[in-house]
Amino acid sequence: MYFCNMRIDILTVLPKLLESPFSISIMQRAQDKGHVTIQIHNIRDYSTNKHKNVDDYQYGGGAGMVMSIEPIATIIEKLKSERTYDEIIYMSPDGEVLEQGMANKMSLLKNVIILCGHYKGVDNRIREHYITKEISIGSYVLSGGELAAAVLVDSIVRLLPGVLNDETSALTDCFQDDLLAPPVYTRPSEFNGWKVPEVLLSGNDELIEKWREDQALLRTQERRPDLLKKGGEN
Ligand code: SAH
């Protein structure tokens, strides 16, 4: 099996927020099996300030603090001196919106830094001089980049070869092929008189495959017709 070890360095002022998403279930197993190394760096550890401040008032006035350049620049320079990074990402509501296609592409990368913002965000010079990609997880504002980073990392890591038990299962998820996934059922075949569609019990692989394709198309037409249009454009 093709084996890759991806390395993800996450820069944050709230490392605790990232502990549980990466220490449970698939994300933990992916690290234990060596498919990915996730390093969390506390930006505060790199503050040279007496009070370990990582933010300051914004130039021009106005409410909200801005994350200072220096501690972030120090960590990024240190990491860059240790290895080459494919992308230095800033989680940001004004970035490119995360989609399955982007997760697919990013799962091929080797070394990635993810910067989580807080308060009003980071000093713009960090974005101008270090950041190579800005990613939003949707058109709403979170209080910090940590949950967004956890979403991004989860969407990438589950695609790494060997992470999911049944490797084909990521391929039949929603959005691969620009289609939503068909409905799924498990035992019992009848509950409260509610029956599992007959075809799934037929044992006829061809019919089942056809039914799943039809259902996927139907769901997509009903719920996300925009995806079908997108597929047609490609
Ligand atoms: N004032 C900023 C928002 C700052 S929110 C603005 O309006 O653009 C604080 C931090 O949370 C951001 O720096 C970013 O890292 C993170 N964040 C908030 N919403 C996000 C989203 N939709 N996607 C990704 N990161 C987000």
pLDDT attached to residue 234: 47
Q: Looking at residue 10, what is its pLDDT?
A: 98
Which pTM does this prediction carry? 0.94
Look at ligand 1, atom 12, and give the residue with the nearest C-alpha. 117
Cis? peptide before 182, omega within 30° of 0: no
Domains of the chain: 6-157 (3.40.1280.10), 174-233 (1.10.1270.20)
What pLDDT is stored for residue 166 in this prediction?
A: 75
121, 146 Cβ separation under 8 angstroms: no
* Type of residue found at 51: H
Residue 209 structure tokens: 């495959």
Residues of the chain with pLDDT under 50: 1, 234
> Tell me, what's the pLDDT at 176?
84
Q: Are 114 and 91 in contact (CB under 8 A)?
A: yes
Expressed in angstroms and rounded, the spacing between residue 158 Cα and the centre of ligand 1 is 24
**Span from the CA of 91 to the centroid of ligand 1 (angstroms):** 7
Strands 36-42 and 55-57: unpaired
Q: What is the pLDDT of residue 8?
A: 98
Query: What is the predicted pLDDT for the residue at 230?
Result: 77
Cβ pair 27, 21 in contact under 8 A:
yes
Share of the chain above pLDDT 90, in %: 90
Which two tokens mark 169? 């299962």
Q: Are strands 65-67 and 55-57 parallel, antiparallel or unpaired?
A: antiparallel
Ligand 1 pocket at CB < 6 A: 91-94, 116-118, 120-121, 136-138, 140-142, 144-145, 148
